[in-house]
Amino acid sequence: MESDQWKKLMVAMARLAVFLLVIVGSMIAFLFVLHSNPDLFYSQKEPPQLVQEAFQGDQLIEDGVHVATGFVEGEGLMMVVNNCTNCHSAKLVTQDRFTKEGWIQVIRWMQETQGLWDLGPNEAVIVEYLSNHYAPEDRGRRKQLEVEWYSLEE
Ligand code: HEC
């Protein structure tokens, strides 16, 4: 190789070395700053606003109704939300009306045929909630039949 070419090569190598030094140097500087100030880009003290709002939205109750599912407010609500909306819409639950025994039967049926898990000690709370708020008496009361009574003696 001619000396001219050597020179060019050396200059190119030197430039590359400086370039790499600058990159590595700034990375080290960046890590150093980040290390001494961990909250620079992300604060662990407060969850990001969006997550907080989504969480609240999940629990939001308006006019006595759990907004996300339509379940009425009551003791055991979140337990029902967490166990009864995984496979089907909450509507399938809220549109039904059963007695306590009836709800237990529905749960057994789902456990035997639909893969519903054992609800353990939560079952009593869930059944209590369902039979309190989705009891047969509430089901679409129709108007009393109007019967014209007549006397059998006539
Ligand atoms: C593992 C899945 C799963 C879970 C969890 C689940 N169900 Fe179901 N459930 C089903 C399936 C599947 C059906 C049938 C859906 C259909 O017919 O379209 C069903 C149907 C129903 C019905 C309608 C029954 C009928 O006779 O029409 C009701 C009411 C119901 N579920 C209530 C509940 C309640 C209350 C819970 C919580 C304790 C619950 N489900 C949790 C799978 C599940």
Please tell me if the CB atom of residue 108 comes closer than 6 angstroms to any atom of ligand 1: no
Give mean pLDDT, residues 24-45. Answer: 82
Please tell me if the CB atom of residue 92 comes closer than 6 angstroms to any atom of ligand 1: yes
- Given this model, what pLDDT does residue 55 score? 56
Residues 66/77, Cβ–Cβ less than 8 Å: yes
Ligand 1 centroid to residue 109 C-alpha, Å: 9
- Given this model, what pLDDT does residue 40 score? 73
Ligand 1 centroid to residue 88 C-alpha, Å: 6
Residues 104/130, Cβ–Cβ less than 8 Å: no
Please tell me if the CB atom of residue 69 comes closer than 6 angstroms to any atom of ligand 1: no
φ/ψ of residue 98, rounded to 5: -145, 160
- Given this model, what pLDDT does residue 18 score? 96
For 51, the token pair is 């997550």
- Given this model, what pLDDT does residue 37 score? 80
- Given this model, what pLDDT does residue 34 score? 86
For 43, the token pair is 């604060």
Residues 129/79, Cβ–Cβ less than 8 Å: yes
pTM summary value: 0.64
Distances (CA, A) of 103 to 22, 98, 112, 116, 119: 70, 6, 14, 14, 13
Q: What is the rounded average pLDDT for all residues in the chain?
A: 86
47/9: higher pLDDT? 9
- Given this model, what pLDDT does residue 23 score? 96
pLDDT per residue over 43-91, tens digit each? 656 655 665 555 556 788 889 999 999 999 999 999 999 999 999 999 9
